[in-house]
Structure 1
Amino acid sequence: MLVYATYFIRLYLVARRLGTTARSVIIKFIIRSIYLGLCILGLLGPSFGVNEIEAQATGKDIFFVFDLSRSMDAIDIEPSRLEKAKFEISKNIDLLKSDRIGLVVFSSEAYTHTPLTFDRDAVKLFIQKLNSNLFPRNGTDLNSAFALILKKFQSINSINSRKTKVIILITDGEDFGRIDQSVINELKKNRINLLTLGVGTPLGGQIREGDDFKKDSDGQVVVSKLNASYLVNLTKSLNGKYFQLTNQLNSVADLLKEADKVESNWIDTRKMTVANNKYYYFVILAFILMIIDILFTVRTIKI
């Protein structure tokens, strides 16, 4: 503005010395000052008047269900099945954008390790601390995990029944026993989505126990194998999808993207009053003045 003002004053003085009028220069200066000011006002986003809009809220609750039985310490995946799963889930968990996340762990029994929360850092911290020593007795009772999650989701339903519910099961599928059909029916009834991550290999691996490997009652080294067929059938019974994690195949990112793609249900609609942004009035007027400025020529010296 200072440079342009200096240019205008110099042009005006030259016109006076030559005995000609500087009226056109003055007009152009005024026009340019006005449309520059209008552009600045448009950038500031002036708002006046109010408008009522409807804002819709959507939601999705996701429980990670970690198998912490001793078979998850098998070393067919380095450094172990559980450690590899923990690392990959923590690394990719931010793919779940605005969902609430909770942790349920199970072995011979199940309990809630982390309640549903939006705090990703807290969830990552609790995942890193998971280990098979959290349970005094070894075993694999998936019925207790599903029953606990049903109880958690039903308590949420009493507050809001519309939220989408997702279970992400992380396990090797070994020694599950028989899943109670009534539990499966309740999961279907509550429209709970199941995604399963099978961790391990069909060839299996030994389970480290101190400086040696775990042995059975006959003194033979125990080899734990991934029971993929069992997990695939379980997941299909709930219309879910199965993914796998090995040293060669890592589907964790695909799993979390699939969980994120599960449609979030409508929860609530609220009316909000917002100010109307009228920037375009100023921009349109500035554009008209620009066109006038281009079409209007300056004549300082008349011959």
Structure 2
Amino acid sequence: MFRFENPEYLWLLVAVAVLALIRFVTYFNQKKRLRKFGDPKLMKQLMPDVSRWRPLVKFCLLELALVLVILMLARPQQANGISQEKRSGIETVIALDISNSMRAEDVAPTRLDRAKMMVENLVESFVNDKIGLIVFAGDAFVQLPITSDYVSAKMFLSTIDPSMIVNQGTDIAGAIEMASHSFTQQEHVGKAIIVITDGEDHEGNAVEAAKAAHEQGFNVYVLGIGSTNGAPVPDPDTGNYMIDNQGNTVMSCLNEDMCREVAQAGGGAYIHVDNNSSAQRLLDEELDKLEKGETTIYSDYAEQFQYAAAFALLLLIIEICILDRRNPILKKIKLFKR
């Protein structure tokens, strides 16, 4: 198995393309300026030592060397050995509602903070399982692709806040559809979508999305967080509670009926989250029922950057040896002539 230990550095490859574009534009600007001095054929006779291809070859060598340096920074690694230890686990994608209504304080300290604590406890109970994280309000996006890196999962979880999504609302259907495309292709492993929400679905089609996900082999669980009596929603900008257009305090209520319908359509279970710990226990029991799939563990990786380093150094030496102008000694050979 081949991997990059620091794949984030691969984004620097964009700079290679930008430099190539700049070189392309500069080259044609130079040709345009030369035409202003006179006929191109006459100019070529006046500059017999100017090479057309050498600067381009030197630039391509530098570009390729830069690519190799970027690959070095990304630390390419090759798996040396495969552990014979059999490990089994499930795949879980958490879809976390971060709409403004999740700021309500009917569950201490807030609905969102309580949900984040539950996810963190779930991560701590995982051993060989994989977890992904999606946040949603009026829109949904992947906060963490499915992974077994629990440290990263906790780090991304701590940064979640309703301000991350400008388009407010609660599009549960969109979150479920996105979660359905977030799993690996591994077969014979239990795959769960856990939707944590207060159930204020303003977009609709959540039940249909859960049914479609279940038909694809995923179990959809819904954690309904909050109280059915409702609670005011704090406004982080003013410090007061949110009000509607008529000046009334906005009350957010848990929609348990919708949550149950989504869970039933998704082949999972509905769990009410309040201020006690029973919801965490019930969720663990439900996930324990899922099929555990065996995974291959690559235990030892060898660094491969030295090959890129050697080739990059060779390219730089060749680039230095090639002159911008034609070499008087090798002029008769004309290596760069068509």
Measured against the shorter chain, the TM-score band is: 0.5 to 0.7
Alignment of 1:268-287 (within 5 A): none
User: Which residue type is aligned with residue 239 of structure 1?
Assistant: G
Aligned: 1:190 with 2:213: no
What one-letter code is carried by the residue in structure 1 that aligns with 2:142?
Answer: T
Secondary structure of the structure 2 residue equivalent to 1:240? strand
Name which of 122, 146, 150 aligns with 2:176.
146
Structure 1 unaligned runs (5+)? 1-53, 269-303
Q: Pairwise CA RMSD of aligned residues?
A: 2.2
User: Deviations 1:104-144 (Å, cap 9, x if unpaired)?
Assistant: 11111111101111122221221121111100121111121
Residue number in structure 2 paired with 1:237 = 265
| Residue 292 of structure 2, aligned match among 256, 264, 271 | 264
Three-state SS of the structure 2 residue aligned to 1:208 is coil
Q: Give the whole-Å Cα distance in 1 for the aligned partners of 2:172 and 2:264.
A: 16
Write the distance in 1 (CA, Å) between the matches of 2:92 and 2:99: 22
Match of residue 109 from structure 2: 79
1:64 alignment partner AA: I
* Deviations 1:39-88, CA, capped at 9 Å, x for gaps: xxxxxxxxxxxxxxx97664421101100111111111122100111123
> Contact 1:167/1:193 (CA < 8 Å) preserved in 2?
yes
On the 8 A contact 1:104/1:110 being kept in 2, the answer is: yes
Larger RCO (alpha carbons 8 Å, 6+ apart): 1
Q: In structure 1, how many angstroms separate the alpha carbons of the residues matched to 2:157 and 2:289? A: 23
Aligned residues: 211
Q: Runs of 5+ in structure 2 lacking a partner?
A: 1-83, 297-338
Residue-by-residue CA offset, 1:130-167 (whole Å, 9 max, x unaligned): 111100121111121122122223xx32xx33332111
**1:216-227 paired onto structure 2 within 5 Å:** 216-227=244-255
Matched, 1:89 2:131: no
C-alpha separation between the residues in 1 aligned to 2:108 and 2:207?
35
Report the CA distance shift for 1:56/1:91 in structure 2 as closer, same or farther (over 3 A).
closer
- Alpha carbons 2:173, 2:209 under 8 Å: kept: yes
- TM-score normalised according to structure 1 size: 0.64
Q: What is the aligned partner in structure 2 of residue 167 from structure 1?
A: 193
Q: Residue by residue, what CA displacement relative to the aligned partner does 1:258-296 show, whole Å, maximum 9, x if unpaired? A: 22331214578xxxxxxxxxxxxxxxxxxxxxxxxxxxx
Q: Rg: which structure is higher?
A: 1
Alpha-carbon offset, residue 213 of structure 1: 0.5
Relative to 1, partners in 2 of residues 1:256 and 1:182: Cα closer, same or farther, differing over 3 Å?
same
Q: Once structures 1 and 2 are overlaid, which stretch shifts more, 228-237 or 258-267? A: 258-267
Counterpart in the other structure of 2:281: 253
1:245/1:259 Cα in 2 relative to 1: closer, same or farther (>3 Å)? Answer: same
Structure 1 residues 222-231 or 188-197, which shifts more?
188-197
The residue identity in structure 2 corresponding to 1:224 is S
**How many percent identity over aligned positions?**
27
1:230, distance to aligned residue in structure 2 (A): 0.9
Query: Letter of the aligned partner of 2:205 in structure 1?
Result: I
Identify the range of structure 1 (180-189 vs 199-208) with the bigger mean alpha-carbon deviation: 180-189
**Offset at residue 96 of structure 1 (A):** 2.5
Say if 1:88 and 1:184 are closer, same or farther in 2 by CA, change over 3 A.
Answer: closer
What is the TM-score normalised by the length of structure 2? 0.58
- The 5 Å alignment of 1:1-303 reads 58-153=88-183, 156-157=184-185, 160-179=186-205, 183-209=209-235, 210-248=238-276, 250-265=278-293
CA contact (8 A) 1:89 1:252 kept: no
State the 1:247 CA deviation: 2.3
